[in-house]
Amino acid sequence: MNDFIRRKYLQKLRSADQVARMVRSGDRIFFGEIVVMPDSLDEALAERAGELSDIIIEGVCLPKVPRFITADPNREHFIYNDWHFSGAGRKMYQQGLCSYIPFAYHQGPRIIRKYNQYDFVFITACPMDSQGYFNYGLCNSITSAIITKAKKIVVEVNESIPHCLGGNQESVHISRVDYIVQGKNPPLMEITPGIPTETENQIARHIVGEIEDGSCLQLGIGGLPNVVGSLLAESDIKDIGIHTEMLVDSMVDLYTSGKVTGNCKTIDRFKMSYTLAMGTKKLYAFLDNNPACASYPVNYINDPKIIAVNNKAVAINSAIEVDLFGQVCSESVGPMQISGTGGQFDFIYGAFNSHGGKGIISLSSTYTDKEGTVHSRIVPTLRPGSIVTVPRSIVQYVATEYGVVQLKGKSTWERAEALVGIAHPMFRDELIAQAEEMKIWLNRNRHDADNIAICS
Q: Which residues are catalytic?
A: 245
Do 266 and 311 contact (CB within 8 A), yes or no? Answer: yes
**Per-residue CA distances from 187 to 39, 290, 345, 408 (Å):** 10, 20, 32, 45
What does the alpha-carbon distance between residue 118 and residue 172 come to, in Å, rounded to a whole number?
Answer: 17
- Omega of the bond leading into 167 within 30 degrees of 0 (cis): yes
Three-class SS state of 338: coil
Residues 6+ apart with CB under 8 A from 153: 120, 121, 123, 147, 172, 176, 177, 178, 179
Do 34 and 40 contact (CB within 8 A), yes or no? Answer: no
What does the alpha-carbon distance between residue 24 and residue 9 come to, in Å, rounded to a whole number?
Answer: 25
What does the alpha-carbon distance between residue 58 and residue 31 come to, in Å, rounded to a whole number?
Answer: 6
Do 156 and 45 contact (CB within 8 A), yes or no? Answer: no
H-helix or E-strand spanning residue 314: strand 313-318
Number of other residues whose CB lies within 10 A of the CB of residue 29? 24
Q: Where are the beta strands (DSSP E) in 18-159?
A: 28-33, 55-60, 78-82, 99-100, 118-125, 133-135, 150-157
DSSP characters over 382-427: PPTT---SB-TTT--EEEETTEEEE-TT--HHHHHHHHHHTS-HHH
Residues 6+ apart with CB under 8 A from 268: 243, 262, 294
